[in-house]
Structures are given as structure tokens and as C-alpha cells.
């Protein structure tokens, strides 16, 4: 359930930790000895050029494939040996992509409960509960106050930002500990992007963590606590937002793009 506990990241033990994770696809070395952590109640940005390895890194976290031998993944401090997509999902790791997250022809309430539908005592789908819970979530957590947006609305008719709101709310409602957002603002207008960024901030207010991948530093910087910069499969930089201004970060990103290094 959503609970409103706000505050700073909790730095006790990471929700997820990658140690020495490498991934090769034939000749391509997509990741090289990556160390990466996300703490509870923290939003971590992941920046890097096309092909830097960002999606590969989060796919390793999602259990989509195994790291090369020698790499380790820890969840809440525990080494996970048999990491799979199903396992990762069961432990509370949810991924949100642009446009791919929802069943377009289904109403909002169906989408919110997709794959985890409550049943009544006769084993039938509890549609009434799903509808009323959907209405509650929409007004309390998604800020959909407009009468035009109703739980029965078909997702196809919603704007991109509203769709991302449904996807993020679904992840939080089902107690995701870690929400992974891989370029969630692709193709969205300015207003829709703003809404999506607000939803991303709400992940933290709900006491959960997120990894936010986006090419646009102007989207990432305002909502994150820490930032990793990936370059050609390697971690090229790690920053606490409080230690670096947006302008300095932009300078450094240009330097990485030019030289592959953050050093002067």
C-alpha cells in the first residue's frame, strides 16, 4: 500500500547492489565491472549516451539476464544466486517503459490490477472492489480530479503522462520496493513530461526507490538524489546531487562524451 513517509534517503543497506557486474554479448562488452547501488527511499539517475549500457544494467537488475561470472547482485543485503524476472518481480522490482506498460484497450481499473486481480469468495473477479479501489487511487494518488477521467476510461484515450501515472501508481500500490523507469518520457509533451516527473517524485514520498534513465539531464537532475554516469559500459562518474550543480554536471557529461573520462 502507499504510505506517506517522506524524508531523505535511508543509507543503511542498499535495496539493490551490483558488484563487479559485466555483461558481454558475443564481441560486444556492454558492461564492464559495474558497481552500482540504490538505497531505500532514493531516486538514482542513470545517464549516458546511446549504447552506454544503461538498459543492459537495468535488465541485469530485472533478472532479464545473468551477469557474466564474477558479478554479484544483492537484494536488501542478500546475495541472489537464482535471479530471474519472476523472482525480481516477486521481490518488488517493477519496470516502467514509455507506452509499453499498459493494455491500451482495457479500462484503467483493469490495468491497475492486471495480473493480480482480487477475487471474491466464489473465485470470481471482484470487479466492484477493483473499480472502487481504482477510483480511490486515482483521486488520492494520481491527482486525477477531473470528472473526465474515470476508472472505466479506456487507456488508449489517455495522454502519455496520465498513462505513466497509471503505471507508476500500479507499481507503488503493489508494493514495489524499486521502480525502474527506462526513458519514461520519450515522446511526451512538456506538460505530460512534467506530470510524469511529479509521479516519479511521488515514488520517494511513498517511501520507495527508483532508477530513472533518461537522455535529458533537465528531466533527471531535478528529481534524483544521486546520479551515475555510464560510458561505454563503465561507470564514469557518481555524484550526490547536493555536491554538483546542473551546469557542472552538463560540463562533465560533455567531457565524458569527448574523452570517455571525467578527469581534467
Ligand X SMILES: Nc1ncnc2c1ncn2[C@@H]1O[C@H](COP(=O)(O)OP(=O)(O)OP(=O)(O)O)[C@@H](O)[C@H]1O
Interface with Mg ion by CB under 5 A: which residues? 55
DSSP of the chain, one letter per residue?
------SSPP-SS-SEEEEEEEEEETTEEEEEEEEEEE-TT-EEEEE--TTSSHHHHHHHHTTSSPPPTT-EEEETTEE-SS--HHHHHHTTEEEEETTTSS-TTSBHHHHHHTT---B-TTSSB-HHHHHHHHHHHHHHTS----TT--TTSBGGGS-HHHHHHHHHHHHHHTT-SEEEEESTTTT--HHHHHHHHHHHHHHHHTT-EEEEE-S-HHHHHHH-SEEEEEETTEEEEEEEGGG--HHHHHHHHHHHHHHS----
Nearer to ligand X by Cβ, of 48 and 165: the residue is 48
54 is a contact residue toward ligand X (CB under 6 A): yes
Nearer to ligand X by Cβ, of 51 and 222: the residue is 51
Q: Least separation, in Å, of the C-beta of 114 and ligand X?
A: 26
185 is a contact residue toward ligand X (CB under 6 A): no
Q: Least separation, in Å, of the C-beta of 218 and ligand X?
A: 16
Site for ligand X in 14-43 (CB under 6 A): 25, 28, 30
56 is a contact residue toward ligand X (CB under 6 A): yes
Q: CB under 5 to 8 A by kind: which of Mg ion, ligand X, none does 52 bind?
A: ligand X
Q: Least separation, in Å, of the C-beta of 60 and ligand X?
A: 10
Rounded to an integer, what distance in angstroms lies between the CA atom of residue 262 and that of residue 246?
15
Nearer to ligand X by Cβ, of 15 and 213: the residue is 213
Nearer to ligand X by Cβ, of 149 and 253: the residue is 253
Q: Least separation, in Å, of the C-beta of 53 and Mg ion?
A: 9
Q: Least separation, in Å, of the C-beta of 31 and ligand X?
A: 8
Q: CB under 5 to 8 A by kind: which of ligand X, Mg ion, none does 178 bind?
A: none
Q: CB under 5 to 8 A by kind: which of ligand X, Mg ion, none does 254 bind?
A: none
Q: CB under 5 to 8 A by kind: which of ligand X, Mg ion, none does 71 bind?
A: none
Q: Least separation, in Å, of the C-beta of 34 and ligand X?
A: 11
Q: How many CB atoms lie within 10 A of CB 243?
A: 8
- Selection from 254, 185, 180, 256 nearest residue 219 by Cα: 185
- Selection from 145, 178, 160 nearest residue 97 by Cα: 160
Binding-residue total with ligand X (CB under 6 A): 11
Q: Least separation, in Å, of the C-beta of 38 and Mg ion?
A: 18
Nearer to Mg ion by Cβ, of 55 and 202: the residue is 55
Candidates 45, 53, 63, 107; binder of ligand X (CB under 6 A) is 53
DSSP-based helix, strand, coil % in the chain, nearest 5 = 35, 25, 40
55 is a contact residue toward ligand X (CB under 6 A): yes
Q: Which residues contact ligand X (rule: CB under 6 A)?
A: 25, 28, 30, 48, 50-56
Amino acid at each position: 500500500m502507499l504510505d506517506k513517509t517522506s524524508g531523505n534517503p535511508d543509507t543503511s543497506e542498499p535495496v539493490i547492489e551490483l558488484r563487479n557486474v559485466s555483461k558481454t554479448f558475443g564481441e560486444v562488452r556492454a558492461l564492464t565491472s559495474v558497481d552500482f547501488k540504490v538505497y531505500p527511499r532514493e531516486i538514482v539517475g542513470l545517464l549516458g549516451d546511446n549504447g552506454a549500457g544503461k538498459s543492459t544494467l537495468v535488465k541485469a537488475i530485472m533478472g532479464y539476464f545473468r551477469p557474466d561470472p564474477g558479478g554479484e547482485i544483492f537484494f536488501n543485503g542478500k546475495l541472489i544466486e537464482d535471479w530471474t524476472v519472476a523472482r525480481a518481480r516477486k521481490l518488488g522490482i517493477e519496470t516502467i517503459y514509455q507506452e509499453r506498460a499498459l493494455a491500451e484497450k482495457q479500462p484503467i481499473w483493469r490495468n491497475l490490477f492486471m495480473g493480480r486481480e482480487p477475487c471474491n469468495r466464489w473465485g470470481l473477479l471482484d470487479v466492484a472492489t477493483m473499480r472502487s479501489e481504482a477510483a480511490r487511487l486515482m483521486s488520492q494518488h494520481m491527482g486525477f480530479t477531473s470528472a473526465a477521467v474515470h476508472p472505466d476510461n479506456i487507456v488508449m484515450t489517455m495522454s502519455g503522462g496520465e498513462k505513466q501515472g497509471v503505471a507508476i501508481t500500479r507499481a507503488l500500490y503493489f508494493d514495489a520496493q524499486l521502480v525502474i523507469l527506462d526513458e519514461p518520457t520519450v515522446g511526451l509533451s512538456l506538460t505530460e513530461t512534467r506530470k510524469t516527473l511529479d509521479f516519479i517524485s511521488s515514488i520517494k514520498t511513498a517511501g520507495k526507490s527508483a532508477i530513472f534513465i533518461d537522455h535529458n539531464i533537465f528531466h533527471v537532475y531535478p528529481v534524483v538524489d544521486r546520479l551515475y554516469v555510464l560510458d561505454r559500459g563503465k561507470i564514469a562518474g557518481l555524484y550526490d546531487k547536493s555536491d554538483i550543480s546542473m551546469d557542472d554536471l552538463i560540463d562533465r557529461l560533455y567531457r565524458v562524451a569527448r574523452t570517455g573520462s571525467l578527469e581534467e
